Structure 1
Amino acid sequence: MEIRNLKGTSVEELVAVFNRSFSDYIVPFRLTVEQLKSKIIAEDIKPELSLGVFESGKIIGFMLHGLRNNTAVPTVYNAGTGVIPEYRGKGLVGAMYEELLPHLQELHIKKMILEVIQENKPAVRAYEKIGYTVSRKLDCFSGKLDILKSNKEVTVQSVSEFQWDTFMSFWDILPSWQNTVQTIENGKSLYTTAVAYRDNVPVGYVIFNAESGKIHQFAVSADYRRMGIGSSLFEWINTARKGQEVYVYNVDHDSDSSLGFLQKIGLSEKVVQFEMSKEI
Protein backbone atom coordinates (compact mmCIF):
# COMPACT_ATOMS: atom_id res chain seq x y z
CA MET A 1 0.00 0.00 0.00
CA GLU A 2 1.37 3.40 -1.01
CA ILE A 3 0.39 7.00 -0.25
CA ARG A 4 1.33 9.62 -2.84
CA ASN A 5 0.03 12.87 -4.28
CA LEU A 6 -2.46 12.96 -7.12
CA LYS A 7 -0.39 14.76 -9.76
CA GLY A 8 -0.33 11.66 -11.95
CA THR A 9 -3.91 10.54 -11.32
CA SER A 10 -6.55 11.20 -13.97
CA VAL A 11 -9.84 12.95 -13.28
CA GLU A 12 -11.60 9.80 -14.47
CA GLU A 13 -9.84 7.73 -11.79
CA LEU A 14 -10.72 10.31 -9.15
CA VAL A 15 -14.38 10.36 -10.15
CA ALA A 16 -14.52 6.56 -9.91
CA VAL A 17 -13.03 6.40 -6.41
CA PHE A 18 -15.02 9.45 -5.28
CA ASN A 19 -18.34 7.97 -6.33
CA ARG A 20 -17.56 4.56 -4.90
CA SER A 21 -16.47 6.08 -1.59
CA PHE A 22 -19.66 8.14 -1.28
CA SER A 23 -22.08 5.50 -2.61
CA ASP A 24 -23.16 4.48 0.91
CA TYR A 25 -22.67 7.85 2.59
CA ILE A 26 -25.31 9.38 4.88
CA VAL A 27 -26.26 11.50 1.89
CA PRO A 28 -25.33 9.49 -1.25
CA PHE A 29 -23.40 11.70 -3.62
CA ARG A 30 -22.10 11.39 -7.17
CA LEU A 31 -19.99 13.55 -9.46
CA THR A 32 -19.48 13.48 -13.20
CA VAL A 33 -16.09 14.07 -14.78
CA GLU A 34 -17.16 17.57 -15.83
CA GLN A 35 -18.45 18.39 -12.36
CA LEU A 36 -15.18 17.32 -10.75
CA LYS A 37 -13.19 19.34 -13.27
CA SER A 38 -15.28 22.40 -12.40
CA LYS A 39 -14.86 21.72 -8.68
CA ILE A 40 -11.08 21.48 -9.03
CA ILE A 41 -10.94 24.88 -10.75
CA ALA A 42 -13.48 26.68 -8.57
CA GLU A 43 -12.17 25.43 -5.22
CA ASP A 44 -8.44 25.81 -6.08
CA ILE A 45 -7.79 22.10 -5.58
CA LYS A 46 -4.09 21.31 -5.94
CA PRO A 47 -3.08 17.79 -7.05
CA GLU A 48 0.31 18.19 -5.37
CA LEU A 49 -1.42 18.74 -1.99
CA SER A 50 -4.06 16.07 -2.59
CA LEU A 51 -3.29 12.48 -1.65
CA GLY A 52 -4.32 9.01 -2.67
CA VAL A 53 -3.86 5.59 -1.12
CA PHE A 54 -2.93 3.03 -3.77
CA GLU A 55 -3.10 -0.76 -3.59
CA SER A 56 -1.41 -2.59 -6.47
CA GLY A 57 -1.49 0.65 -8.46
CA LYS A 58 -5.22 1.21 -7.94
CA ILE A 59 -6.52 4.15 -5.92
CA ILE A 60 -8.62 3.05 -2.94
CA GLY A 61 -8.76 6.26 -0.90
CA PHE A 62 -8.22 9.96 -1.50
CA MET A 63 -8.03 13.39 0.07
CA LEU A 64 -8.52 16.52 -2.07
CA HIS A 65 -7.15 19.84 -0.86
CA GLY A 66 -7.66 23.38 -2.07
CA LEU A 67 -5.05 26.03 -1.29
CA ARG A 68 -5.44 29.77 -0.83
CA ASN A 69 -2.33 31.56 0.33
CA ASN A 70 -3.32 35.04 -0.83
CA THR A 71 -5.00 35.77 2.50
CA ALA A 72 -3.71 36.87 5.89
CA VAL A 73 -3.84 33.23 7.04
CA PRO A 74 -2.69 30.79 4.31
CA THR A 75 -5.29 28.03 4.38
CA VAL A 76 -5.95 24.61 2.89
CA TYR A 77 -9.47 23.26 2.48
CA ASN A 78 -10.35 19.58 2.53
CA ALA A 79 -12.57 19.45 -0.54
CA GLY A 80 -13.35 15.76 -0.17
CA THR A 81 -12.02 12.71 1.65
CA GLY A 82 -13.11 9.15 1.03
CA VAL A 83 -12.11 5.51 1.26
CA ILE A 84 -13.88 2.73 -0.64
CA PRO A 85 -16.00 0.56 1.70
CA GLU A 86 -13.82 -2.54 1.88
CA TYR A 87 -10.76 -0.58 3.04
CA ARG A 88 -12.37 1.44 5.81
CA GLY A 89 -11.37 1.05 9.44
CA LYS A 90 -7.69 0.67 8.57
CA GLY A 91 -6.54 4.17 9.59
CA LEU A 92 -6.01 5.35 6.02
CA VAL A 93 -7.32 8.89 6.59
CA GLY A 94 -4.98 9.34 9.54
CA ALA A 95 -2.10 7.97 7.47
CA MET A 96 -2.81 10.48 4.70
CA TYR A 97 -2.75 13.33 7.21
CA GLU A 98 0.58 12.11 8.59
CA GLU A 99 1.95 12.27 5.06
CA LEU A 100 0.42 15.67 4.34
CA LEU A 101 1.21 17.75 7.43
CA PRO A 102 5.00 18.05 6.93
CA HIS A 103 4.42 19.35 3.39
CA LEU A 104 1.97 21.97 4.65
CA GLN A 105 4.43 23.10 7.30
CA GLU A 106 7.14 23.48 4.64
CA LEU A 107 4.76 25.74 2.69
CA HIS A 108 4.01 27.80 5.84
CA ILE A 109 0.32 26.94 5.71
CA LYS A 110 -1.27 28.11 8.95
CA LYS A 111 -4.77 26.67 8.91
CA MET A 112 -6.77 23.70 7.66
CA ILE A 113 -10.56 23.63 7.30
CA LEU A 114 -13.16 21.07 6.27
CA GLU A 115 -16.87 20.30 6.44
CA VAL A 116 -18.39 17.11 7.79
CA ILE A 117 -22.00 16.04 8.29
CA GLN A 118 -22.91 16.41 11.96
CA GLU A 119 -24.51 12.95 12.06
CA ASN A 120 -21.31 11.32 10.79
CA LYS A 121 -20.00 10.84 14.30
CA PRO A 122 -17.14 8.46 13.39
CA ALA A 123 -15.75 11.05 10.96
CA VAL A 124 -16.19 13.88 13.48
CA ARG A 125 -14.31 11.87 16.11
CA ALA A 126 -11.56 11.01 13.62
CA TYR A 127 -11.05 14.68 12.74
CA GLU A 128 -11.09 15.68 16.41
CA LYS A 129 -8.39 13.08 17.07
CA ILE A 130 -6.24 14.73 14.40
CA GLY A 131 -6.72 18.11 16.09
CA TYR A 132 -9.70 19.68 14.34
CA THR A 133 -12.29 21.60 16.36
CA VAL A 134 -15.78 22.75 15.38
CA SER A 135 -15.81 26.40 14.32
CA ARG A 136 -19.46 26.71 13.25
CA LYS A 137 -22.53 24.83 12.06
CA LEU A 138 -23.74 25.03 8.47
CA ASP A 139 -27.25 24.14 7.38
CA CYS A 140 -28.13 22.69 3.97
CA PHE A 141 -31.56 23.20 2.39
CA SER A 142 -33.31 21.94 -0.71
CA GLY A 143 -36.74 21.63 -2.22
CA LYS A 144 -39.19 23.25 -4.59
CA LEU A 145 -39.93 26.90 -4.00
CA ASP A 146 -43.32 27.97 -2.68
CA ILE A 147 -43.31 31.75 -2.68
CA LEU A 148 -46.48 33.31 -1.32
CA LYS A 149 -45.61 36.98 -1.48
CA SER A 150 -42.98 38.96 -3.37
CA ASN A 151 -42.49 42.72 -3.70
CA LYS A 152 -44.07 44.12 -6.84
CA GLU A 153 -42.14 47.38 -6.41
CA VAL A 154 -38.89 45.48 -6.96
CA THR A 155 -37.29 44.83 -10.33
CA VAL A 156 -35.02 41.78 -10.64
CA GLN A 157 -32.49 41.77 -13.45
CA SER A 158 -29.65 39.48 -14.45
CA VAL A 159 -26.25 41.19 -14.53
CA SER A 160 -23.04 40.18 -16.26
CA GLU A 161 -20.59 41.50 -13.66
CA PHE A 162 -20.22 40.77 -9.96
CA GLN A 163 -20.73 43.97 -7.96
CA TRP A 164 -18.72 42.75 -4.99
CA ASP A 165 -18.48 46.00 -3.04
CA THR A 166 -22.26 46.31 -3.13
CA PHE A 167 -22.93 42.62 -2.59
CA MET A 168 -20.59 42.33 0.39
CA SER A 169 -22.17 45.38 2.04
CA PHE A 170 -25.33 43.24 2.41
CA TRP A 171 -23.53 40.45 4.29
CA ASP A 172 -23.82 39.66 7.97
CA ILE A 173 -22.41 36.13 7.66
CA LEU A 174 -19.36 34.82 5.82
CA PRO A 175 -19.73 32.20 3.07
CA SER A 176 -18.04 28.81 3.31
CA TRP A 177 -15.16 27.91 0.97
CA GLN A 178 -17.47 26.53 -1.72
CA ASN A 179 -19.39 29.82 -1.82
CA THR A 180 -16.66 32.43 -1.38
CA VAL A 181 -15.90 35.30 -3.73
CA GLN A 182 -12.78 33.53 -4.98
CA THR A 183 -14.64 30.28 -5.68
CA ILE A 184 -17.26 32.15 -7.68
CA GLU A 185 -14.66 34.21 -9.55
CA ASN A 186 -12.77 31.02 -10.41
CA GLY A 187 -15.85 29.47 -11.99
CA LYS A 188 -17.70 32.59 -13.09
CA SER A 189 -18.89 31.07 -16.37
CA LEU A 190 -20.98 28.58 -14.37
CA TYR A 191 -23.05 31.15 -12.52
CA THR A 192 -26.01 33.44 -13.12
CA THR A 193 -26.29 36.62 -11.05
CA ALA A 194 -29.50 38.54 -10.44
CA VAL A 195 -29.87 41.84 -8.62
CA ALA A 196 -33.02 43.26 -7.04
CA TYR A 197 -33.55 46.99 -7.53
CA ARG A 198 -35.93 49.31 -5.75
CA ASP A 199 -36.12 52.84 -7.17
CA ASN A 200 -33.04 51.92 -9.24
CA VAL A 201 -31.05 51.16 -6.07
CA PRO A 202 -29.60 47.63 -5.65
CA VAL A 203 -31.10 46.13 -2.50
CA GLY A 204 -30.37 42.41 -2.85
CA TYR A 205 -28.75 39.79 -5.06
CA VAL A 206 -28.41 36.09 -5.71
CA ILE A 207 -25.70 34.03 -7.44
CA PHE A 208 -26.65 30.54 -8.57
CA ASN A 209 -25.94 27.76 -11.02
CA ALA A 210 -28.96 27.70 -13.31
CA GLU A 211 -28.19 24.16 -14.52
CA SER A 212 -27.70 22.45 -11.15
CA GLY A 213 -30.01 24.69 -9.13
CA LYS A 214 -27.33 25.30 -6.50
CA ILE A 215 -27.52 28.75 -4.93
CA HIS A 216 -24.08 29.94 -3.84
CA GLN A 217 -24.85 33.37 -2.40
CA PHE A 218 -27.89 35.45 -1.59
CA ALA A 219 -28.30 38.54 0.56
CA VAL A 220 -30.56 41.54 1.06
CA SER A 221 -29.56 44.95 2.37
CA ALA A 222 -30.25 45.21 6.11
CA ASP A 223 -32.39 48.30 5.45
CA TYR A 224 -34.71 46.39 3.11
CA ARG A 225 -35.28 43.08 4.84
CA ARG A 226 -38.76 41.66 5.49
CA MET A 227 -40.06 43.61 2.50
CA GLY A 228 -40.32 40.73 0.05
CA ILE A 229 -36.96 41.43 -1.63
CA GLY A 230 -35.63 37.93 -1.02
CA SER A 231 -38.91 36.42 -2.19
CA SER A 232 -38.67 38.45 -5.40
CA LEU A 233 -35.16 37.13 -6.04
CA PHE A 234 -36.17 33.53 -5.43
CA GLU A 235 -39.30 33.97 -7.54
CA TRP A 236 -36.94 35.00 -10.36
CA ILE A 237 -34.87 31.86 -9.74
CA ASN A 238 -38.00 29.71 -9.74
CA THR A 239 -38.89 31.04 -13.18
CA ALA A 240 -35.35 30.45 -14.45
CA ARG A 241 -35.43 26.90 -13.05
CA LYS A 242 -38.96 26.24 -14.36
CA GLY A 243 -40.07 25.14 -10.92
CA GLN A 244 -37.36 22.53 -10.42
CA GLU A 245 -35.71 21.93 -7.05
CA VAL A 246 -33.08 24.32 -5.74
CA TYR A 247 -30.27 23.71 -3.27
CA VAL A 248 -28.82 26.12 -0.71
CA TYR A 249 -25.82 24.61 1.05
CA ASN A 250 -23.75 25.77 4.02
CA VAL A 251 -25.90 28.54 5.46
CA ASP A 252 -24.41 29.75 8.74
CA HIS A 253 -26.52 28.26 11.54
CA ASP A 254 -26.30 31.53 13.49
CA SER A 255 -28.17 33.42 10.76
CA ASP A 256 -31.70 33.04 12.09
CA SER A 257 -33.09 35.39 9.44
CA SER A 258 -31.64 33.33 6.57
CA LEU A 259 -32.80 30.02 8.03
CA GLY A 260 -36.30 31.34 8.68
CA PHE A 261 -36.56 32.83 5.20
CA LEU A 262 -35.54 29.61 3.45
CA GLN A 263 -38.12 27.63 5.39
CA LYS A 264 -40.78 30.25 4.65
CA ILE A 265 -40.28 29.89 0.89
CA GLY A 266 -40.74 26.14 0.98
CA LEU A 267 -37.25 24.71 1.45
CA SER A 268 -36.45 22.02 3.99
CA GLU A 269 -33.31 21.50 6.01
CA LYS A 270 -31.78 18.23 4.81
CA VAL A 271 -28.39 18.13 6.50
CA VAL A 272 -26.43 20.01 9.15
CA GLN A 273 -22.67 20.15 8.75
CA PHE A 274 -19.84 21.14 11.04
CA GLU A 275 -17.18 23.42 9.66
CA MET A 276 -14.04 22.31 11.47
CA SER A 277 -10.62 23.92 11.57
CA LYS A 278 -7.12 23.09 12.71
CA GLU A 279 -4.21 25.44 13.29
CA ILE A 280 -0.86 24.20 12.02
Structure 2
Amino acid sequence: MILFRRASEFSLSQLHQVMVLAFSDYVIRMDMPLADFERMIRARGFDAELSWVATDNEQLVGFWFIGKQDAYPGTIYAVSTGTVPNARGKGIASKLFAKVEEYAAQQGYHHVQLEVITSNTAAVKAYEKLGFQTKRNFQCFSLHKAAFADRNSERMPVPADWAEIEPKAAGLWECAPSWQNTAFAIRVLADGVAAYKIEQNGQLAGYIAFTRKTGAVMQIAVAPDKRRQGYATALLTAAFANVNKEALTFINLDEGDETIMQALSKLGATKTLQQYEMHRALQTSTAHGQESMLTTP
Protein backbone atom coordinates (compact mmCIF):
# COMPACT_ATOMS: atom_id res chain seq x y z
CA MET A 1 0.00 0.00 0.00
CA ILE A 2 1.24 3.47 -0.86
CA LEU A 3 1.62 5.79 2.13
CA PHE A 4 2.58 9.47 2.26
CA ARG A 5 4.98 10.54 4.99
CA ARG A 6 7.19 13.46 5.93
CA ALA A 7 10.77 13.27 4.72
CA SER A 8 11.93 13.92 8.27
CA GLU A 9 11.11 10.28 9.07
CA PHE A 10 13.94 9.09 6.82
CA SER A 11 17.72 9.40 6.76
CA LEU A 12 19.57 11.64 4.34
CA SER A 13 21.05 8.52 2.76
CA GLN A 14 17.58 7.09 2.07
CA LEU A 15 16.43 10.39 0.52
CA HIS A 16 19.55 10.44 -1.63
CA GLN A 17 18.99 6.89 -2.83
CA VAL A 18 15.40 7.49 -3.94
CA MET A 19 16.40 10.64 -5.83
CA VAL A 20 19.19 8.82 -7.67
CA LEU A 21 16.78 6.02 -8.63
CA ALA A 22 14.04 8.43 -9.73
CA PHE A 23 16.50 10.31 -11.95
CA SER A 24 18.12 7.18 -13.41
CA ASP A 25 16.31 7.70 -16.73
CA TYR A 26 16.01 11.49 -16.58
CA VAL A 27 16.96 13.94 -19.34
CA ILE A 28 20.11 14.62 -17.32
CA ARG A 29 21.42 11.78 -15.17
CA MET A 30 21.83 12.89 -11.54
CA ASP A 31 23.89 10.11 -10.02
CA MET A 32 25.57 12.49 -7.56
CA PRO A 33 27.49 11.29 -4.49
CA LEU A 34 25.83 11.65 -1.10
CA ALA A 35 28.09 14.56 -0.08
CA ASP A 36 27.15 16.50 -3.22
CA PHE A 37 23.46 15.74 -2.64
CA GLU A 38 23.71 17.09 0.90
CA ARG A 39 25.40 20.29 -0.31
CA MET A 40 22.82 20.75 -3.05
CA ILE A 41 19.76 20.45 -0.83
CA ARG A 42 21.28 22.58 1.95
CA ALA A 43 22.11 25.36 -0.51
CA ARG A 44 18.50 25.32 -1.69
CA GLY A 45 17.07 25.60 1.81
CA PHE A 46 15.84 22.01 2.21
CA ASP A 47 13.34 21.55 5.04
CA ALA A 48 12.54 17.93 5.89
CA GLU A 49 9.34 18.86 7.72
CA LEU A 50 7.91 20.60 4.65
CA SER A 51 9.03 17.76 2.35
CA TRP A 52 6.98 14.65 1.66
CA VAL A 53 7.77 11.16 0.36
CA ALA A 54 5.75 8.17 -0.79
CA THR A 55 6.44 4.61 0.32
CA ASP A 56 5.22 1.30 -1.03
CA ASN A 57 5.78 -1.61 1.35
CA GLU A 58 8.27 0.53 3.27
CA GLN A 59 10.29 1.32 0.11
CA LEU A 60 10.64 4.96 -0.92
CA VAL A 61 9.10 5.42 -4.36
CA GLY A 62 8.44 9.16 -4.72
CA PHE A 63 9.30 12.53 -3.21
CA TRP A 64 8.77 16.28 -3.19
CA PHE A 65 11.79 17.81 -1.47
CA ILE A 66 10.91 21.34 -0.37
CA GLY A 67 13.10 24.31 0.51
CA LYS A 68 12.59 27.74 2.01
CA GLN A 69 14.59 30.96 2.35
CA ASP A 70 14.15 33.96 4.64
CA ALA A 71 14.49 36.24 1.61
CA TYR A 72 11.26 34.75 0.21
CA PRO A 73 8.76 34.82 3.09
CA GLY A 74 5.64 32.84 2.37
CA THR A 75 7.26 30.95 -0.52
CA ILE A 76 8.36 27.33 -0.72
CA TYR A 77 10.54 25.88 -3.44
CA ALA A 78 10.59 22.41 -4.98
CA VAL A 79 14.25 21.45 -4.54
CA SER A 80 13.61 18.21 -6.38
CA THR A 81 10.61 16.04 -7.24
CA GLY A 82 10.46 12.55 -8.67
CA THR A 83 8.95 9.09 -8.78
CA VAL A 84 10.96 5.90 -9.30
CA PRO A 85 10.37 4.34 -12.75
CA ASN A 86 8.40 1.28 -11.61
CA ALA A 87 5.97 3.38 -9.53
CA ARG A 88 4.93 5.87 -12.19
CA GLY A 89 1.43 6.12 -13.57
CA LYS A 90 -0.21 5.77 -10.16
CA GLY A 91 -0.78 9.46 -9.44
CA ILE A 92 1.93 9.52 -6.76
CA ALA A 93 3.41 12.87 -7.81
CA SER A 94 0.10 14.74 -7.72
CA LYS A 95 -0.90 13.16 -4.41
CA LEU A 96 2.48 14.09 -2.91
CA PHE A 97 2.00 17.66 -4.07
CA ALA A 98 -1.41 17.71 -2.42
CA LYS A 99 0.27 16.76 0.85
CA VAL A 100 2.97 19.40 0.36
CA GLU A 101 0.39 22.06 -0.43
CA GLU A 102 -1.95 21.20 2.44
CA TYR A 103 0.79 21.18 5.08
CA ALA A 104 2.64 24.25 3.74
CA ALA A 105 -0.59 26.26 3.63
CA GLN A 106 -1.27 25.28 7.24
CA GLN A 107 2.19 26.64 8.13
CA GLY A 108 1.39 29.99 6.54
CA TYR A 109 3.02 29.59 3.12
CA HIS A 110 1.08 30.89 0.14
CA HIS A 111 3.32 30.37 -2.89
CA VAL A 112 5.41 27.60 -4.47
CA GLN A 113 7.94 27.69 -7.29
CA LEU A 114 10.15 25.22 -9.15
CA GLU A 115 12.23 24.74 -12.29
CA VAL A 116 11.82 22.17 -15.03
CA ILE A 117 13.84 21.44 -18.17
CA THR A 118 11.88 22.71 -21.17
CA SER A 119 12.53 19.58 -23.23
CA ASN A 120 11.01 17.38 -20.51
CA THR A 121 7.54 17.89 -21.95
CA ALA A 122 5.92 15.22 -19.78
CA ALA A 123 7.03 16.97 -16.60
CA VAL A 124 6.05 20.40 -17.95
CA LYS A 125 2.55 19.14 -18.74
CA ALA A 126 2.30 17.45 -15.34
CA TYR A 127 3.16 20.70 -13.55
CA GLU A 128 0.76 22.65 -15.74
CA LYS A 129 -1.96 20.15 -14.85
CA LEU A 130 -1.23 20.90 -11.18
CA GLY A 131 -1.77 24.59 -11.90
CA PHE A 132 1.82 25.83 -12.31
CA GLN A 133 2.50 28.64 -14.76
CA THR A 134 5.78 29.72 -16.34
CA LYS A 135 7.10 33.02 -14.97
CA ARG A 136 10.68 33.10 -16.26
CA ASN A 137 12.76 31.38 -18.93
CA PHE A 138 16.23 30.28 -17.86
CA GLN A 139 19.29 29.52 -19.98
CA CYS A 140 22.27 27.40 -18.97
CA PHE A 141 25.73 27.86 -20.46
CA SER A 142 29.21 26.39 -20.54
CA LEU A 143 32.23 28.62 -21.12
CA HIS A 144 35.32 26.63 -22.10
CA LYS A 145 38.76 27.82 -21.12
CA ALA A 146 40.10 27.18 -24.63
CA ALA A 147 37.53 29.47 -26.22
CA PHE A 148 38.24 32.12 -23.62
CA ALA A 149 42.03 31.88 -23.55
CA ASP A 150 42.89 34.75 -25.91
CA ARG A 151 40.83 37.36 -24.09
CA ASN A 152 42.60 39.97 -22.00
CA SER A 153 41.55 42.79 -19.71
CA GLU A 154 43.45 45.49 -17.88
CA ARG A 155 41.03 45.24 -14.95
CA MET A 156 42.35 43.55 -11.82
CA PRO A 157 39.79 41.75 -9.64
CA VAL A 158 40.74 41.08 -6.04
CA PRO A 159 39.49 38.39 -3.63
CA ALA A 160 36.52 39.53 -1.58
CA ASP A 161 34.41 38.43 1.35
CA TRP A 162 30.88 37.68 0.18
CA ALA A 163 29.50 39.47 3.26
CA GLU A 164 31.09 42.65 1.90
CA ILE A 165 29.59 42.22 -1.58
CA GLU A 166 26.08 41.04 -0.65
CA PRO A 167 24.58 44.36 0.52
CA LYS A 168 25.66 46.04 -2.73
CA ALA A 169 25.03 43.23 -5.21
CA ALA A 170 21.41 43.96 -6.15
CA GLY A 171 22.36 47.43 -7.36
CA LEU A 172 24.28 45.81 -10.23
CA TRP A 173 21.60 43.32 -11.30
CA GLU A 174 19.47 43.45 -14.40
CA CYS A 175 17.47 40.44 -13.17
CA ALA A 176 17.37 38.68 -9.82
CA PRO A 177 19.23 35.36 -9.60
CA SER A 178 17.43 32.03 -9.62
CA TRP A 179 16.68 30.27 -6.33
CA GLN A 180 19.83 28.12 -6.37
CA ASN A 181 22.06 31.14 -6.98
CA THR A 182 20.76 33.47 -4.28
CA ALA A 183 22.83 35.09 -1.54
CA PHE A 184 21.34 32.47 0.80
CA ALA A 185 22.88 29.66 -1.25
CA ILE A 186 26.25 31.42 -1.36
CA ARG A 187 26.23 31.88 2.41
CA VAL A 188 25.30 28.22 3.00
CA LEU A 189 28.13 26.97 0.79
CA ALA A 190 30.48 29.32 2.68
CA ASP A 191 34.13 28.40 1.97
CA GLY A 192 33.00 26.35 -1.03
CA VAL A 193 32.38 29.62 -2.87
CA ALA A 194 35.03 32.13 -3.92
CA ALA A 195 34.22 35.77 -4.62
CA TYR A 196 36.15 38.46 -6.49
CA LYS A 197 35.36 42.12 -6.96
CA ILE A 198 36.48 45.16 -8.92
CA GLU A 199 36.09 48.60 -7.38
CA GLN A 200 36.35 52.00 -8.97
CA ASN A 201 36.60 55.13 -6.81
CA GLY A 202 35.50 53.15 -3.79
CA GLN A 203 32.35 51.84 -5.51
CA LEU A 204 31.59 48.25 -6.47
CA ALA A 205 31.99 48.07 -10.26
CA GLY A 206 31.66 44.31 -10.70
CA TYR A 207 31.83 41.01 -8.86
CA ILE A 208 31.70 37.26 -9.36
CA ALA A 209 30.90 34.36 -7.00
CA PHE A 210 31.67 30.80 -8.09
CA THR A 211 32.05 27.35 -6.56
CA ARG A 212 35.66 26.32 -6.07
CA LYS A 213 35.01 22.62 -6.72
CA THR A 214 32.77 22.66 -9.78
CA GLY A 215 33.35 26.04 -11.40
CA ALA A 216 29.66 26.95 -11.31
CA VAL A 217 29.24 30.71 -11.55
CA MET A 218 26.50 31.52 -9.07
CA GLN A 219 26.48 35.27 -9.63
CA ILE A 220 28.30 37.71 -11.90
CA ALA A 221 27.32 41.34 -12.37
CA VAL A 222 28.81 44.60 -13.61
CA ALA A 223 27.54 48.09 -12.81
CA PRO A 224 25.47 49.55 -15.68
CA ASP A 225 27.98 52.33 -16.43
CA LYS A 226 30.91 49.87 -16.48
CA ARG A 227 29.54 47.34 -18.96
CA ARG A 228 31.30 46.48 -22.23
CA GLN A 229 34.59 47.71 -20.76
CA GLY A 230 36.26 44.39 -19.98
CA TYR A 231 35.02 43.95 -16.41
CA ALA A 232 33.21 40.66 -17.05
CA THR A 233 36.24 39.32 -18.92
CA ALA A 234 38.48 40.16 -15.98
CA LEU A 235 36.13 38.55 -13.47
CA LEU A 236 35.82 35.35 -15.50
CA THR A 237 39.60 35.24 -15.93
CA ALA A 238 39.92 35.34 -12.14
CA ALA A 239 37.46 32.45 -11.86
CA PHE A 240 39.35 30.31 -14.38
CA ALA A 241 42.58 30.97 -12.49
CA ASN A 242 41.04 29.62 -9.29
CA VAL A 243 39.12 26.59 -10.57
CA ASN A 244 40.72 23.39 -11.80
CA LYS A 245 38.15 22.90 -14.54
CA GLU A 246 38.22 23.22 -18.33
CA ALA A 247 34.91 25.09 -18.31
CA LEU A 248 32.84 27.38 -16.14
CA THR A 249 29.12 26.64 -15.97
CA PHE A 250 26.18 29.00 -15.61
CA ILE A 251 22.94 27.48 -14.35
CA ASN A 252 19.54 29.16 -14.73
CA LEU A 253 20.35 32.64 -15.96
CA ASP A 254 17.27 34.74 -16.63
CA GLU A 255 16.75 35.05 -20.37
CA GLY A 256 15.47 38.57 -19.73
CA ASP A 257 18.94 39.68 -18.64
CA GLU A 258 20.01 40.89 -22.08
CA THR A 259 23.39 42.09 -20.83
CA ILE A 260 24.58 38.70 -19.59
CA MET A 261 23.00 36.88 -22.55
CA GLN A 262 24.91 39.08 -25.02
CA ALA A 263 28.12 39.00 -22.99
CA LEU A 264 28.27 35.21 -22.74
CA SER A 265 27.53 34.82 -26.45
CA LYS A 266 30.29 37.30 -27.28
CA LEU A 267 32.72 35.53 -24.95
CA GLY A 268 32.15 32.17 -26.68
CA ALA A 269 29.86 30.43 -24.21
CA THR A 270 27.61 27.65 -25.51
CA LYS A 271 24.05 26.95 -24.41
CA THR A 272 23.59 23.60 -22.70
CA LEU A 273 19.90 23.51 -21.78
CA GLN A 274 16.85 25.63 -20.98
CA GLN A 275 14.51 25.61 -18.02
CA TYR A 276 11.20 27.16 -17.07
CA GLU A 277 10.72 28.75 -13.68
CA MET A 278 7.14 27.88 -12.78
CA HIS A 279 4.98 29.32 -10.00
CA ARG A 280 1.68 28.51 -8.34
CA ALA A 281 -0.38 29.95 -5.50
CA LEU A 282 -1.02 27.56 -2.61
CA GLN A 283 -4.58 26.89 -1.59
CA THR A 284 -5.55 27.47 2.02
CA SER A 285 -6.10 24.47 4.23
CA THR A 286 -9.86 25.15 4.14
CA ALA A 287 -10.00 25.15 0.36
CA HIS A 288 -7.77 22.11 0.31
CA GLY A 289 -9.77 20.00 2.74
CA GLN A 290 -11.77 18.07 0.19
CA GLU A 291 -8.69 17.21 -1.90
CA SER A 292 -6.74 16.07 1.16
CA MET A 293 -9.39 13.45 1.81
CA LEU A 294 -8.62 11.98 -1.57
CA THR A 295 -4.88 11.80 -0.91
CA THR A 296 -4.88 10.34 2.59
CA PRO A 297 -4.14 6.60 2.40
TM class, shorter-chain normalised?
Answer: over 0.9
Separation in 2, partners of 1:182, 1:242: 25
- Cα separation, partners in 2 of 1:6 and 1:194, compared to 1, 3 Å: same
1:13 is matched with which residue? 14
Aligned-residue CA RMSD in angstroms? Answer: 1.6
2:258 maps to a residue whose letter is D
- Cα separation, partners in 2 of 1:201 and 1:100, compared to 1, 3 Å: closer
Contact 1:155 1:198 in 2 (8 A): no
After TM superposition, the structure 1 stretch with the greater mean CA deviation from structure 2, 180-189 or 90-99, is: 180-189
Q: Tell me, yes or no, if structure 1 residue 205 matches structure 2 residue 207.
A: yes
Contact 1:15 1:33 in 2 (8 A): yes
- The DSSP-based 3-state class of the residue aligned with 1:47 is coil
String of CA shifts for 1:126-184, please: whole Å, max 9, x gaps.
Answer: 111111100010111124132343321x1111113432232221111001110111222
Q: Tell me, yes or no, if structure 1 residue 54 matches structure 2 residue 55.
A: yes
1:105 maps to a residue whose letter is A
* Distance apart, 1:199 and its partner CA: 5.7
- The DSSP-based 3-state class of the residue aligned with 1:48 is coil
2:160 is matched with which residue? 159
Give unmatched runs, 5+ long, in structure 2.
283-297
1:106 is matched with which residue? 106
1:119 is matched with which residue? 119
String of CA shifts for 1:49-91, please: whole Å, max 9, x gaps.
Answer: 11111111111111100023564x4100000011111112221
2:130 is matched with which residue? 130
1:231 maps to a residue whose letter is T
2:34 is matched with which residue? 33
Contact 1:22 1:28 in 2 (8 A): yes
Q: Tell me, yes or no, if structure 1 residue 263 matches structure 2 residue 285.
A: no
> What TM-score results when the alignment is normalised by the length of structure 2?
0.89
Aligned residues: 278
Contact 1:68 1:74 in 2 (8 A): no
* Distance apart, 1:198 and its partner CA: 4.3
After TM superposition, the structure 1 stretch with the greater mean CA deviation from structure 2, 178-187 or 267-276, is: 178-187
Contact 1:149 1:228 in 2 (8 A): no
Contact 1:192 1:207 in 2 (8 A): yes
* Distance apart, 1:267 and its partner CA: 1.9
After TM superposition, the structure 1 stretch with the greater mean CA deviation from structure 2, 195-204 or 41-50, is: 195-204
2:66 is matched with which residue? 65
**Is the helix fraction higher in 1 or 2?**
2
- Cα separation, partners in 2 of 1:217 and 1:70, compared to 1, 3 Å: closer
Separation in 2, partners of 1:64, 1:239: 35
Contact 1:63 1:82 in 2 (8 A): yes
Separation in 1, partners of 2:245, 2:37: 26
1:180 is matched with which residue? 182
1:82 is matched with which residue? 82
> What percent identity do the matched residue pairs reach?
25
1:246 is matched with which residue? 248
* Distance apart, 1:217 and its partner CA: 0.4
* Distance apart, 1:243 and its partner CA: 5.0
Separation in 2, partners of 1:129, 1:164: 38
- The DSSP-based 3-state class of the residue aligned with 2:185 is helix
2:117 maps to a residue whose letter is I
After TM superposition, the structure 1 stretch with the greater mean CA deviation from structure 2, 74-83 or 187-196, is: 187-196
Separation in 1, partners of 2:281, 2:221: 30
Separation in 1, partners of 2:205, 2:85: 48
2:287 is matched with which residue? none
Separation in 2, partners of 1:70, 1:117: 25
